A and B are shown apart, each in its own frame.
Chain A
Amino acid sequence: METIANSVFDSEEQQHAAIQRLSYAFELQRRDFLKALGGGVLVCLAVKNAVTQESGHTQHAASDEDLPNSIAAWLHVSEDGTVTVFTGKVEIGQNIRTSLSQQVAEELRVPLASVQLTMADTELTPFDMGTFGSRTTPIMGRQLRTVAMAARNLLIDMAAQQLHADRNTLVAADGKIRDPKSNHTISYGELTKGQQLTRVIGEDPPETAASDWHAAGASAPKVDARAFVTGQHKYTPDLVRPGMLYGKVLRPAAFHASLGSLDSSEAEKIAGVKVVRDGEFVGVVAPDEHTATKALQALRAKWNSPPQIGDSQLFEHLKSKSEPSSGEHNLHVTGDVQKAMAAAHKAITKSYTVAYIAHCPLEPRAAVAEWSGDKLTVWTGTQRPFGVQEELASAFRIPKETIRVIVPDTGAAYGGKHMGDAAVEAARLAKSAGKPVKLVWTREEEFTWAYFRPAGVIEVNAATGSDGKITAWEFHNYNSGPAGIGTPYDIPNQHIQFHPADSPLRQGSYRGLAATANHFVRESAMDELAHEAGVDPLEFRLRNLTDPRLRAVLEAAAKKLGWGKEKSSGSRGFGIAGGVEKGGYVATCAEVEISPSREVRITRVVEAFECGAIVNPGGLRNQIEGSIVQAIGGALFEAIRFDNGRILNPHFAQYRVPRFSDTPEIEVEMLDRKDLPSAGAGETPIVGLAPAVGNAIFAATGIRLRSLPMIPEGLPQAHPAEA
């Protein structure tokens, strides 16, 4: 299904952003870099196309004539042996600063501590489309290993010359090259002294097999971890620039509202305050946050708001305002579903819904903007520094070459920081203020003016034969998205379709995208089919599944849980769910307790995950555990409430996120497939929790919950009306 999903269904970029590839005048940059870096060895990786480079295996030694204009990464070994790697990826808590460093250390044969990553700075790092889609490990990780390997080979060549030795006998380890014959060693730093060597390489596969990894493949502590436990790390909201002012933006009273009138006289009376108005954009700057807030509150604005629908009409709206499918786009059909449904032994026809939810990164969207003449520098927490650079260029009608976007390691994003709203706003305020401006969104702004995970309606019709094999699978997703929409089960007749719709709220990427919604529906419906067929849910899945990797995680999770050892009862239920997405295979088992007062508590979660060769087991485990905890919110209680262009619950007191007391016992089983390429793992571990919990609740109570969140107001007393 993966190949189908990749070809027929919209990719993440198509869905949420039409991001154009930038082209680079590489020669100029290379010269700039050598100047900035001083002596040493610089290795650059050239790729044909940064989006689809999986197939590129160029063997040529690039000459200046055939230099491609896409450089994906570069690595510098300095005269003191320091290794600096430049990548446009951002660190947002997924721990890639560490896992990428490990991979460089592995192929370059240097201690982890000598590797430094310069990340996400449009002036220093190569273009990168963005940090999303679980692509860092499979693509950037592989590219950095290739660059590091090339650097090592270059250093070995240099050593062979200096030591007058046969390069094939030389051994690189621990930042040094040793000639076993003479026992001479020479460090990388010594080798690069007085050199200014540049090499451009193509995409050869990395040399070191995962089974031979030392630096990679083992847990490594988070790079700079000490700075985080001592409060020393500077996130964007912590930055200070000379003369910096504090900004606030006046938000409309409702979505799509237009500004009728503005009285800013009271605000302007406050010492040090400047009011900035540009069309519909209104903001204030002040010498401190407290004064800026007071000034914002002193603005008197009248807004004209058009009537808008509320959440009670949402699902009806999404279905009625959906687009008809256009040809084969967003559609996958095999066999004849109608015929198979008509011949069903057992069949289900069900409708599921998914609410909008908010990302709630604890670090709100924030930016510090500084103009210096025509040059603009913005520090901001974003997943797409080069995309934000383009947004700024477009907003201020200036060439993007005059804009520098820098992303400090950021307080999370979860797919929510693709856009540069805070950057554009801070830059607009700074332009009028004539001074650097810091803008940090309030939590209420976060809950209101960011974008949401798409809501959706998902309909499924499915049938089984008398042998408990699935014969028909029809699946329609309205608005929530096409990610993970396929089925990994062996079903001869399928009709799978994504229907884009008019979303009343601004929506966009969210960790795992629609794979969470599509897995919830598919794996719940699998449970419904198993129940109809009278087959154990695990046995039913395995009966309809040949994919060995998915079978392996299902069996591993079931074994660790002790599936089938204890039967579900009225007070305790067990559920299972599995899936494949973005190269990761996941199976989740959940155990829920239903108290006599009908409170639902997830008491235990067992998750098996496989994503090829594991780069950093400790970091991977952290991602899996975190995904499970985060998934609890969307599964049980998180939902954005809205009416008439206003968010009704824009505070943590009203929008419940998982807390310590919601956290179950979590057991993680990681299957390390050293024979397979590493896939990303920041997203897919999130998709199995909701259906596993829903299935467990059903096993305990007989109540099938078909909406995410499942129990925002507690467990329903009676069985919800069949859809």
Chain B
Amino acid sequence: MAIPLLVNGTEHRVDAPSGEALLTVLRDRLGLTGTKYGCGEGQCGACTVLLDGKPVRSCRLALGTASQKKITTIEGLAQGEHLHPVQETFLRAEAFQCAYCTSGMIMSAVALLDKNPHPSSQEIIRHMDGNICRCGTYPRILAAIRDAALRNR
């Protein structure tokens, strides 16, 4: 029985067990590979997507739970050629090295700024602390998020 799933504004019907992780549904069944597997344990944030605007770890979320909710992935941020402001500021700050964590970082940051357009540095750090960048580009990511917040003014 196909399960309905609303991703980036498109209604899909997914033929998969309702207990399957949203992460593999997105990546392997819908071809949305921008969302990454990093640990499968909700500890690294590489698989972060927005569920009704809230950041969730898609590796720990069952397809059945995500059904009927509005899902946004990294592929859904840009409007055509027009990048989301957070994507722009990540580019400008060169807030990545290998960039494997970047999708999750951007999705977490977007969720933060949607809820709190002018976060303090402490609020950014607290919000982002579940996302790992093993290359250590945290100072640049912080700068990119601060820059995006400034654009909210």
Contact = CB atoms under 8 A, between A and B. Distances in A.
Interface of A: 92-95, 221-222, 225-226, 228-235, 237-238, 240, 246, 288-290, 360-364, 409-412, 414, 440, 442-443, 618, 622-623, 625-630, 651-653, 657-661, 663, 666
B41 A363 contact: no
Interface in B107-153: 124-126, 128-142
Q: How large is the interface on B (under 10, 10 to 19, 20 to 34, 35 or more residues)?
A: 35 or more
Nearest to B32: A231
B108 to A, nearest CB: 10
Nearest to B96: A228
Contact of B137 (A232, A289, A440, A622): A622
Contacts of B130: 659
Contacts of A361: 98, 100, 134
12 contacts: A93-B99, A94-B97, A226-B91, A288-B16, A361-B134, A362-B36, A412-B97, A440-B37, A630-B136, A651-B43, A659-B131, A661-B126
B34 A231 contact: yes
Given A362-B36, A653-B43, A230 B136 contact: no
A661 B139 CA distance: 11
B50 to A, nearest CB: 13
A222 B94 CA distance: 8
B38 interface: yes
Contacts of A440: 37
B88 to A, nearest CB: 8
Nearest to B27: A238
Nearest to B77: A230
B136 A411 contact: no
A657 B92 CA distance: 26
Between B17, B132, B138, B142, the greatest number of chain A beta carbons within 10 A of the residue's beta carbon is seen for B138
Given A230-B83, A663-B138, A652 B27 contact: no
B37 A651 contact: no
Contacts of B28: 246, 288-289
B73 interface: yes
A228 B97 CA distance: 10
A363 B104 CA distance: 13
Contact of B139 (A410, A443, A663): A663
Contacts of A660: 124-125, 128-129, 131, 138, 141-142
Nearest to B101: A362
A631 to B, nearest CB: 8
A661 B39 contact: no
Given A361-B100, A663-B136, 18 more contacts: A93-B99, A221-B94, A228-B99, A230-B34, A230-B74, A230-B87, A232-B75, A234-B33, A237-B33, A238-B33, A290-B20, A409-B98, A412-B97, A412-B100, A626-B135, A626-B136, A626-B137, A663-B139
B64 interface: no
Contacts of B91: 221, 225-226, 229
A651 B44 CA distance: 10
Contact of A289 (B24, B74, B106): B24
A622 B43 contact: no
A290 B24 contact: yes
Given A630-B136, A661-B129, A410 B41 contact: no
Nearest to A226: B91
Contacts of A290: 16-17, 20-21, 24
A233 B96 CA distance: 13
A661 B43 contact: no
A683 to B, nearest CB: 13
